[in-house]
């Protein structure tokens, strides 16, 4: 069983390019359709939990499904499985890349690649923006996050903590106001 | 060397705790840590991000392995990668064991309602910073007057950006390949 968990998540890790959300259909077809390790509803729960906890969805779902099937050891083998292909492939590429990074032809290509990557990051931000609830608060927070980081006012972690605290405060205040309205 | 391995582990553990919303949300944290610690230049980091986006598996694991390997070979790769995965591993096991209604908790919802938009702003900021650096040669925002107008980099930017607007679901690996080919043609051949 541990081996099946390991091997299944190894395949998921090996065959998904682009990580994260590209993995969801793969994880679904193996763990729900093929092996019946979790139900459709549990799968949806895992996606929701992954979105509300830190860390990549691949590791979150491997840990959760592994735990469901075989406890903590199951988590360990599933997570190891999903990570191992990346670790092996990247180490191979890295040792290769380090030899060629000074190569002038590689540098020409990477002058272009750096621009492509910058665009990918902006597009990712646009996609995440579309998924947000659009209200005054989120626009203000986007602006605060953007400005504080662009001008190097605070480090990223503090910026995130400020956002989270404002979010929690707003939630508590909204709740109190809701209760006053009822009474 | 052991201290350096511990530093890699601790740095990526910290990054793992604060990565909400998948791989791209990690880029601002990694950029800050790597540049502040002087592990590599911004250009080199962007190269690594490009490769991590174009290889199989989770981006978070790829980029941590890559940076760890660059710093301290295979042991470095392992320490960084275990560091980045451990927070999620621990948190998910706690949730799976005792805290089933985690995502419906009002404090969790409040936390995310605040953290998610601010992270979007932070990612926009890093994206803009990378564009200023790769297209206009501006390495820091306060050096904006040193702008370099280069038609080659501007052409690549406009071309690839339009491409991603026309075909939105285009895979990162194509973007990396196309912009690499353009870079090679414009800088290497022309």
Q: What is the pLDDT of residues B94-147, one digit of tens each?
A: 998 887 788 888 898 999 999 999 999 999 999 999 999 999 999 887 777 888
Q: Cα distance from A154 to chain B (closest Cα, Å)?
A: 11
Task: Verify that A118 and A149 share a domain, yes or no.
Answer: yes
Is A157 in CB contact (< 8 Å) with chain B?
yes
- Using N-to-C axis directions, what is the helix angle for B42-53 and B172-183, rounded to 10°? 130
Other beta carbons within 10 angstroms of residue A173's beta carbon come to 11
In this predicted complex, what is the ipTM?
0.93
Task: Verify that A17 and A33 share a domain, yes or no.
Answer: yes
pLDDT of B36 > 70? The answer is: yes
Tokens of A154: 């605070």
Q: Cα distance from A137 to chain B (closest Cα, Å)?
A: 8
24-43 in chain A: CB under 8 A from chain B: none
Tokens of B37: 């610690």
Collect all residues of chain B within an 8 Å Cβ-Cβ radius of residue A57.
Answer: 22, 58
Q: Region B66-78: what's the mean pLDDT?
A: 96
Task: Verify that A56 and A117 share a domain, yes or no.
Answer: no
Residue matched to tokens 């400005």: A147
Tokens of B63: 């980029």
Q: Cα distance from B9 to chain A (closest Cα, Å)?
A: 15
Is A128 in CB contact (< 8 Å) with chain B?
yes
Q: Do A115 and B135 touch (CB under 8 A)?
A: yes
Domain boundary among A42, A76, A100: A100
Task: Verify that A6 and A94 share a domain, yes or no.
Answer: yes
State the total domains in chain A.
Answer: 2
Q: Cα distance from B123 to chain A (closest Cα, Å)?
A: 6
Task: Verify that A81 and A157 share a domain, yes or no.
Answer: no
Collect all residues of chain A within an 8 Å Cβ-Cβ radius of residue B49.
Answer: 117
Whose CA is closest to B80, among B28, B33, B130? B33
Task: Verify that A8 and A96 share a domain, yes or no.
Answer: yes
Residue A18's pLDDT is 62
Domain boundary among A64, A80, A100: A100
Residue A74's pLDDT is 95
Tokens of A79: 């997570």
Contact of B5 with B37, CB cutoff 8 Å = no
Contact of A45 with A31, CB cutoff 8 Å = no
Domain boundary among A73, A100, A127: A100
Q: Domain coordinates of chain B in residue numbers?
A: 2-144, 150-190
Dihedral sign computed on CA atoms, order A56, A62, A64, A65: positive
| Range of the structural domain that residue A148 is part of | 104-182
Residue B78's pLDDT is 97
CA–CA gap between residue B97 and residue B119 (Å, rounded) = 29
Residuewise pLDDT in 10s, chain A (183 residues): 899 999 999 999 998 876 667 788 889 999 999 999 999 988 988 888 888 889 888 899 999 999 999 999 999 999 999 999 999 999 999 999 888 888 999 999 999 999 999 999 999 999 999 989 899 999 999 999 999 999 988 999 999 999 999 999 999 998 787 776 655
pLDDT of B71 > 80? The answer is: yes
Q: Do A93 and B55 touch (CB under 8 A)?
A: yes
CA–CA gap between residue B66 and residue B76 (Å, rounded) = 9
CA–CA gap between residue A68 and residue A83 (Å, rounded) = 19
Residue A23's pLDDT is 82
CA–CA gap between residue A116 and residue B73 (Å, rounded) = 28
Task: Verify that A175 and A111 share a domain, yes or no.
Answer: yes
Task: Verify that A9 and A95 share a domain, yes or no.
Answer: yes
Collect all residues of chain B within an 8 Å Cβ-Cβ radius of residue A75.
Answer: 89, 92-93, 96
Residue matched to tokens 């509300």: A52
Task: Verify that A16 and A91 share a domain, yes or no.
Answer: yes
Q: Region B84-103: what's the mean pLDDT?
A: 89
107-126 in chain A: CB under 8 A from chain B: 108-125
Q: Among A59-63, A175-179, B9-13, B86-90, where is mean pLDDT lowest?
A: A175-179
Collect all residues of chain A within an 8 Å Cβ-Cβ radius of residue B183.
Answer: 108-113, 115
Task: Verify that A96 and A113 share a domain, yes or no.
Answer: no
Which residues, at least 6 apart from B180, have a Cβ–Cβ distance to it below 8 Å?
Answer: A109, A110, A112, A113, A116
pLDDT of B39 > 70? The answer is: yes
Task: Verify that A115 and A86 share a domain, yes or no.
Answer: no
Residue matched to tokens 């908790």: B105
Residue A24's pLDDT is 86
CA–CA gap between residue B74 and residue B76 (Å, rounded) = 5
Task: Verify that A108 and A74 share a domain, yes or no.
Answer: no
């Amino acid at each position: 069983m541990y081996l099946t968990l390991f091997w299944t998540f190894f395949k998921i890790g090996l065959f998904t390019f682009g990580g994260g959300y590209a993995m969801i259909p793969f994880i679904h077809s193996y763990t729900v359709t093929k092996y019946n390790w979790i139900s459709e509803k549990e799968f949806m729960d895992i996606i929701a939990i992954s979105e509300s906890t830190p860390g990549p969805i691949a590791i979150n779902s491997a840990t959760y499904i592994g735990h469901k099937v075989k406890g903590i050891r199951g988590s360990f083998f599933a997570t190891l499985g999903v990570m191992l292909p990346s670790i092996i492939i990247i180490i191979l590429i890295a040792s290769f890349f380090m030899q060629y990074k000074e190569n002038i032809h590689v540098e020409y290509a990477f002058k272009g690649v750096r621009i492509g990557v910058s665009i990918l990051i902006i597009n990712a931000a646009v996609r995440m923006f579309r998924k947000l609830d659009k209200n005054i608060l989120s626009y203000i927070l986007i602006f605060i996050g953007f400005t504080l980081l662009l001008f190097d006012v605070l480090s990223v972690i503090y910026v995130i903590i400020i956002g989270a605290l404002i979010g929690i405060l707003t939630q508590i205040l909204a709740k109190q106001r809701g209760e006053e309205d009822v009474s | 060397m052991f201290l350096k391995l511990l530093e890699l582990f601790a740095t990526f553990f910290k990054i793992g705790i604060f990565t909400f919303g998948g791989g791209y949300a990690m880029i601002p944290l990694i950029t800050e840590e790597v540049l502040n610690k002087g592990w590599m230049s911004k250009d080199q980091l962007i190269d690594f991000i490009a490769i991590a986006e174009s290889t199989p598996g989770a981006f978070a694991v790829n980029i941590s392995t890559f940076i760890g390997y660059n710093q301290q070979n295979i042991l470095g790769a392992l320490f960084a990668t275990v560091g980045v995965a451990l927070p999620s591993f621990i948190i998910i096991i706690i949730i799976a064991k005792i805290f089933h209604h985690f995502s419906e908790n009002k404090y969790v919802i409040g936390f995310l309602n605040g953290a998610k938009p601010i992270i979007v702003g932070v990612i926009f900021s890093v994206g803009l910073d990378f564009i200023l650096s790769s297209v206009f040669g501006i390495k820091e925002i306060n050096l904006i007057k040193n702008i370099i107008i280069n038609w080659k980099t501007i052409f690549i930017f406009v071309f690839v950006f339009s491409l991603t607007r026309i075909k939105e679901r285009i895979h990162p690996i194509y973007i990396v390949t196309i912009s690499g080919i353009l870079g090679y043609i414009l800088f290497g051949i022309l």
